[in-house]
Amino acid sequence: MSKKLQDKRIYSKADLIRDLEGMGLKPTDKVMVHSSMKAIGEVEGGADTVVDALMDYFQQGLVMVPTHTWKQMSEEYNIFDPETEPACVGIIPNLFRKRQGVYRSLHPTHSIAAYGVGAKEYVQGEENLDTPCDPKGCFGRLKDIGAYILLVGVTHARNTYIHSIEESFDVPERLTEKPTTFQVKLPDGLLKEVPMYRHFNSKEEHISDTFDKFMNGYYELGVARKVTLGDAQCILCEARKLFEATKRILEREINCFIDRVEIPSEWQEISADKVVSKLIDKGWTISFAESCSGGMAAARLVSVPDASKVFAASVVTYANEAKVKYVDVNPQTIEHYGVVSEEVAMEMARGVAKANEAQVGVGISGIAGPTGATATKPVGMVCFGFVVGDKAFSRTCYFGNVGRDVVRRASVNYVYSVLEETLDIIGN
């Protein structure tokens, strides 16, 4: 037997559940799972064990999988029976939809199956829609219920929710001119006639293949992060954040996924313009104490022409000694909590604000990678401290092992999104 085969790992249900826990997902969360069984690798009991792990872990929450049938449904093959019609999107959805307690929606081309709290209620009514991913349907409501989207061994090219976002903004050239009429079998055995528009674009056979053009943008805006399930490289996103990030680029150019060869890198940035404007209105100044971001937050501020009216000072306190010397971080705080901690980031923010008599102070300390991680502090973990007027608070983000530069840019984006929101809340 080759060494490669000897080293090949076989995953148990317990292993998969540990991976779900390691993603930061809670048993009460709501999660839409797109999957590739092949990417997960060898599992004891095969795909059934993967389904077991998902159902056992999220039984107090809501786990959903796409059970699409768009590939086989047509004008000729037009009767959709949710009890018997196989999904065209892999083995995991086909096993999941047959499990006890799982409910399948009645969408003739883009159904989902759901299990957990409120599953039966969530899938109701899709037979009354006329587009693949209507904002009122199961995909469109993911953001409203605070759901996550987990892409297991696949990319955003299989992220159906982005279709729903495009429908929310009436992106042109996405649907057929005329609907196809399907017959949907209802629970009472009767057939309901459902006219349904289909996905269509004259330039792209598979519209969703273009969604990966903003892959890095989703990472840098803090919308998505890399995680693993078994051997599978996965992407975990929050539906609400995914909606807002996609909205940003569609507002710039409504058909950018199709018309652009690539999405411009500057579209991935949250500008400092609004923060500068709000600080000017309040007559406040701002200072930064940066570690892993290496001065990038300050650099983005000074790219705004009026920055001189609000920018007090900035320091890059990369070494522990620099944090102590220049922004008055207590060495015992570093020793007790670690340099990458909310406690240290908070002392950095307070220290830099006090040293420069600024009303706003920001501290950033994290692990950009590829080295520096520990068992409890992974690559992509970044801690933030904020002093905004008389308000002080700290946050931690887990951007994932998405690359050193991406983590740093994501950190700066996060700083400006938080400052924007906080300055809106705090009065003059």
Report pLDDT for 427: 62
For 127-166, what is each residue's pLDDT tens digit?
Answer: 999 999 999 999 999 999 999 999 999 999 999 999 999 9
Beta bridge partners of 183: 79, 193
Give me the percent of the chain exceeding a pLDDT of 70: 98
Give all domains of the chain, ordered by start, each with its CATH number.
3-266 (no CATH), 270-425 (3.90.950.20)
Res. 1: pLDDT tops 70: no
**Burial class, 206, CB count within 10 angstroms (exposed 0-12 / middle 13-18 / buried 19+):** exposed
- CB within 8 Å of 272: residues ≥ 6 apart: 300, 301, 303, 304, 307, 416
For 310-353, what is each residue's pLDDT tens digit?
Answer: 999 999 999 999 999 999 999 999 999 999 999 999 999 999 99
**Mean pLDDT of the 197-207 span:** 95
Res. 5: pLDDT tops 80: no
Distance CA 182, CA 33 (A): 26
Report pLDDT for 428: 54
Count of C-beta atoms within a 10 Å radius of residue 51: 27
Report pLDDT for 375: 86
Count of C-beta atoms within a 10 Å radius of residue 411: 28
Mean pLDDT over each residue of the chain, to the nearest integer? 95
Distance CA 76, CA 88 (A): 17
**Burial class, 83, CB count within 10 angstroms (exposed 0-12 / middle 13-18 / buried 19+):** exposed
CB contact burial 320-339 (16+ within 10 A = b; e otherwise): eeebbebbebeeebbeeeeb
For 388-402, what is each residue's pLDDT tens digit?
Answer: 999 999 999 999 999
Res. 3: pLDDT tops 50: no
Report pLDDT for 214: 95
For 39-63, what is each residue's pLDDT tens digit?
Answer: 999 999 999 999 999 999 999 999 9
| pLDDT class of 86 with cuts at 50, 70, 90 | very high
For 237-286, what is each residue's pLDDT tens digit?
Answer: 999 999 999 999 999 999 999 999 999 988 989 999 999 999 999 999 99
Distance CA 146, CA 61 (A): 11
* DSSP-derived 3-state class of residue 138: coil
Report pLDDT for 4: 47
Report pLDDT for 265: 84
Distance CA 304, CA 276 (A): 8
Distance CA 132, CA 70 (A): 9
* DSSP-derived 3-state class of residue 184: strand
DSSP 87: P
